[in-house]
């Protein structure tokens, strides 16, 4: 299922690195489903899935289900941005 593939891919993003929503969609086998990746991650409540490490293709941070400010704080603390 797409949702499980997205979560597995995102769970594998190492600390200090990021992937774009588009890259996650491509790795999940659905290269044009980058908006669906965002929808899947918006529903994530599992702290073991670091959805804050998924950013927009243009390099901007994008949204986060726990608030954009927290996403930026986490990415900065991991030296990902």
Instruction: Give the residue numbers annotated as catalytic, written as ranges.
Output: 51
Is residue 81 exposed (0-12), middle (13-18) or buried (19+ Cβ within 10 Å)? middle
Hey, what are 44's tokens?
A: 């994530």
Distance CA 28, CA 79 (A): 26
């Amino acid at each position: 299922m797409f949702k499980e593939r997205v979560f597995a891919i995102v769970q594998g993003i190492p600390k200090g690195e990021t992937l774009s929503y588009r890259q996650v969609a491509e790795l999940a086998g659905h290269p044009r489903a980058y908006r669906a990746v965002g929808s899947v991650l918006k529903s994530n409540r599992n702290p073991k899935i670091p959805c804050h490490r998924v950013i927009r293709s243009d390099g901007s941070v994008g949204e986060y289900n726990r608030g954009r400010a927290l996403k930026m704080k986490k990415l900065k603390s991991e030296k990902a941005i």
